[in-house]
Structure 1
């Protein structure tokens, strides 16, 4: 992501929001695939790696949602 400092009260464009939404969908898919792979893995090291990767994807999802909420003025 980029920093908007020095640009005043610049809001995110529709194209940028669309990019964030697409990225969110991709992160969700990757997280699901990692969880499924970990569940089906016979290797403990692979299971651990996939579990770690799924946690990273979930963290990215949280960051993306927070960014989208901040930029659109949505609160929960």
Structure 2
């Protein structure tokens, strides 16, 4: 999908950074909605499914943040 000719010196463009920012916001929103849905659900199986989905979304946020930090050299 993405082929960088100069793989030793990859930089994130402004457009890619904007895309990643939107993706992070979306993943966080989905996680919050899943948590809210699990809290309001009467069905135990639905609660479990939504809880699992929220964990997956939060894991995606963590992966995206780690990748961004590695690409930019940022550490906390």
- TM-score scaled by length of structure 2: 0.89
Q: Separation in 2 of the partners of 1:5 and 1:38?
A: 45
Gaps of 5+ in 2: none
TM-superposed deviation, 1:3: 6.8
How large is the RMSD of aligned CA atoms in angstroms? 1.8
Show the counterpart of 2:39.
39
Alpha-carbon deviations, 1:31-63, whole Å to 9, x = none?
Answer: 000000000000000000000000000000000
With the length of structure 1 as denominator, give the TM-score of the two structures: 0.89
Number of aligned pairs?
76
Residue by residue over 1:15-44, the C-alpha shift from the partner in whole angstroms, topping out at 9 and shown as x without a partner, is 111111100000000000000000000000
Alpha carbons of structure 1 residues 2 and 67: separation in structure 2 relative to 1, 3 Å: farther
Q: In the alignment, what sits opposite 2:59? A: 59
Deviating beyond 4 angstroms after TM superposition, the runs of 4 or more aligned structure 1 residues are 1-6
- Worse overlay, 52-61 or 13-22: 13-22
